[in-house]
């Protein structure tokens, strides 16, 4: 079954992608939740026309994201956390805290676009991936220090 995605779906595709899914997944989840529409002949024609019109806007957004990625490239963040004398953090550092520090530095990034590989439970230096656009990703380095 082929569907046209109306929104980004994690581990499946981005908005306006045409993807092949199992019939039950499309019929019972994607279409009722409003994440996708069935890829009929008429829907594909409408989709093609929309893609032509949207191509210019998409390129402009990608260039803006690339400019922000260039600025983020050299940024090193410092995040304070309460920690024990052995260096263990009470709780953990998550993408919300990274988004707040980035916003203080003048970068508006949504927390859901920040990915941290492992849970951060100790003081030290770590990396996170920030997805600014579907084609533009940047890796930022941050240090977790005791407050």
pLDDT tens by residue, 76-117: 899 998 998 888 999 889 899 999 999 998 888 888 999 998
**pLDDT attached to residue 41:** 94
Give 105's contacts (C-beta < 8 A, 6+ positions apart).
75, 77
- Alpha-carbon span 89 to 110, nearest angstrom: 24
**pLDDT attached to residue 58:** 84
* In the chain, ranges of CATH 3.10.430.100 domains: 69-146
Fold of 69-146: Ribosomal Protein L9; domain 2 (3.10.430)
Residue 57 backbone dihedrals phi, psi, to 5 degrees: -65, -40
pLDDT tens per residue, range 53-79: 888 888 888 898 888 888 888 888 999
Residues 37 and 16 sit within 8 Å (Cβ to Cβ) = no
Is this model's pTM higher than 0.95 or not?
no
**pLDDT attached to residue 5:** 95
Query: Angle at the Cα of 91 (from 86 to 93), degrees rounded to 5?
Result: 95
Show the tokens assigned to 50. Answer: 């929309």
Specify the CATH number of the domain 2-64: 3.40.5.10
């Amino acid at each position: 079954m082929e569907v046209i995605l109306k929104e980004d779906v994690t581990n499946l595709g981005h908005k306006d992608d045409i993807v092949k899914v199992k019939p039950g997944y499309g019929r019972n989840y994607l279409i009722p939740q409003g994440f996708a529409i069935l890829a009929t002949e008429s829907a594909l024609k409408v989709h093609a026309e929309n893609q032509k019109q949207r191509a210019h806007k998409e390129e402009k957004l990608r260039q803006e994201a690339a400019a922000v990625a260039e600025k983020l490239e050299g940024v090193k963040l410092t995040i304070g956390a309460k920690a024990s004398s052995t260096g263990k953090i009470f709780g953990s550092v998550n993408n919300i805290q990274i988004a707040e520090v980035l916003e203080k530095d003048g970068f508006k990034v949504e927390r859901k676009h920040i990915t941290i590989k492992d849970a951060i439970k100790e003081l030290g230096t770590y990396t996170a991936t920030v997805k600014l656009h579907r084609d533009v990703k940047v890796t930022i380095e941050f240090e977790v220090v005791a407050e």
